[in-house]
A and B are shown apart, each in its own frame.
Chain A
Amino acid sequence: MLLYSKWEIGIMCVRNRYCLATFLIGALLLFPTGCKRQADGSTAVSARSSDSSVERHHLRGMVVSKSMQTNELTIQHGVIPGFMPAMTMVYKAKDAAVVQEVQPGDQITADVLVPSSNDSYLLSNVAITSKARRGLPPALLPAHQLLVGEQVPDLPLVNQDGKTIHLENYRGKAVLITFIYTRCPMPTACPLITSHFARVNERLAKDPKAYAGSHLISISLDPNYDKPPVLRQYGLAYLDDNAAAFSHWEFADTTPADLKKLAEAFGLEYTEEDNQITHSMRTTLIGPDNKVAQAWDGSGWDADDVVNAVTAAAYKATR
Chain B
Amino acid sequence: MNWKPLAGLLAVACYGAFLFCITSCTKPLPQNEEIGKELYDIHCSQCHDENQLGLKNVPPKLHGIFSQINLPDGANPATDQAVRQVIIDGKRTMPAFNGRLSEDQVADLIAYLHKK
Task: Report A's interface with B, CB cutoff 8 A.
Answer: 182-185, 187-188, 190-192, 194-195, 198-199, 225, 233-234, 236-238, 274-276
Contact = CB atoms under 8 A, between A and B. Distances in A.
B95 A191 contact: yes
B52 to A, nearest CB: 11
Nearest to B91: A237
B90 A195 contact: no
Contacts of B43: 185
Contact of B55 (A192, A225, A233, A236): A192
Interface residues of B, number: 18
Contact of A183 (B54, B56, B92, B100): B100
B93 A191 contact: yes
Interface of A is mostly: helix
Contacts of B78: none
B47 interface: yes
Contacts of A225: 96, 98
Interface in B91-105: 92-93, 95-100
A185 B56 contact: no
B48 to A, nearest CB: 10
Contacts of B57: 237-238
B67 interface: no
Interface of B is mostly: loop
A275 B47 contact: no
Given A182-B95, A238-B93, A187 B55 contact: yes
Given A195-B54, A195-B56, A187 B46 contact: yes
A25 to B, nearest CB: 67
B59 to A, nearest CB: 9
A185 B92 contact: no
Interface string B39-74: 000010011000101111100000000000000000
Contacts of A190: 95
A274 B53 CA distance: 26
A238 B56 contact: yes
Nearest to B99: A275
Contact of B95 (A185, A192, A236, A274): A185
Given A182-B95, A187-B51, A275-B99, 9 more contacts: A183-B98, A185-B43, A185-B95, A190-B95, A191-B53, A192-B55, A194-B56, A195-B93, A238-B93
6 A-B pairs with the lowest CB-CB distances in the bound complex, closest first: A237-B92, A275-B99, A195-B56, A237-B93, A198-B56, A183-B95
Contact of A192 (B53, B96, B99): B53
Nearest to B42: A185
B73 to A, nearest CB: 12
5 contacts: A182-B90, A183-B97, A195-B56, A238-B56, A238-B57
B106 to A, nearest CB: 14
Nearest to B56: A195
Contacts of B95: 182-185, 190-191
Contacts of A233: 92
Contacts of B53: 187-188, 191-192, 195
A276 to B, nearest CB: 6
Contacts of A236: 92
Nearest to A198: B56
A182 B54 contact: no
B55 A185 contact: no
Contacts of B98: 183, 225
B92 A192 contact: no
A102 B100 CA distance: 49
A13 to B, nearest CB: 78
A319 to B, nearest CB: 29
Given A188-B53, A192-B53, A183 B96 contact: yes
A227 to B, nearest CB: 12
